[in-house]
Amino acid sequence: MAKETVSREFKEQNGFVPEKIAKTMALFYEQVDALAAKVEENFEAHGACARCRPGCCACCIDDLTITQAEAAVIAEQYPNVLNEAPHAPGMCAFLDDDGLCRIYRARPIKCRTFGLAHRWQDEDESGEACEMRGICELRQDDVDLETCDASCFIAPLVMDMRLGMMEKLTFGEEKRIALRSLFGK
């Protein structure tokens, strides 16, 4: 029998329907994956390799948090995994013994986009607004990020805003949940 990650009390209070949020999130993930593929393709057009190293799971760190909607997708698609033992502390609880993700199709947005080239707004040392650019250092292949077109980068703010909106509309508030805490509920 599948375990639930959202309490019965919460569902009663909020009229929560996991199937509905799962459908909305599936569409969102599809769009993010398509965008990620395009960004990767554009980045590689600069002659740089942007693929993850085969078997690498260095970014699957412990203590990642996700939204309630992302948690609902995992519970919906991988109920049996939540009954298994989590990976030992130190790495993500959802890694298996071979370093593979046990919830790959339902992995949260951060995991779907982590290794891509990112750009975001920040402040420089003098407090002036500036755009920052970065990419996973294990992926970078000597490309000067400054010379890349904006289409080579993912902008996490847009996705965060959309996730936040979904949280508010579905759950009434934004709440982060530790990935590890999904086990054994």
Contact 153, 39 (CB under 8 A): yes
Which one-letter DSSP state was computed for residue 111?
A: H
- Letters for 115-154 (x = contact with ligand SF4 by CB under 6 A, - = none) are x--------------------x-xx---------------
Kind plus residue range of the DSSP H or E element containing 76: helix 68-77
Q: Which of residues 53-82 bind ligand SF4 (CB under 6 A)?
A: 53, 56-60, 64
Q: Which residues of 133-160 are buried (b: 16+ CB within 10 A; e: fewer)?
A: eebbeebeeebebeebeeebbbbbeebe
Query: Which region among 5-13, 36-44, 103-111, 170-178 touches ligand SF4 (by CB under 6 A)?
Result: 103-111
Q: How far is the CB of 99 from ligand SF4 (least distance, A)?
A: 9
Map residue 129 onto helix, strand or coil: strand
The answer to the question of residue 36 lying near ligand SF4 (CB under 6 A) is no
Residues lying near ligand SF4 in the complex (CB under 6 A): 52-53, 56-60, 64, 92, 94-95, 101, 103, 107, 111, 114-115, 136, 138-139
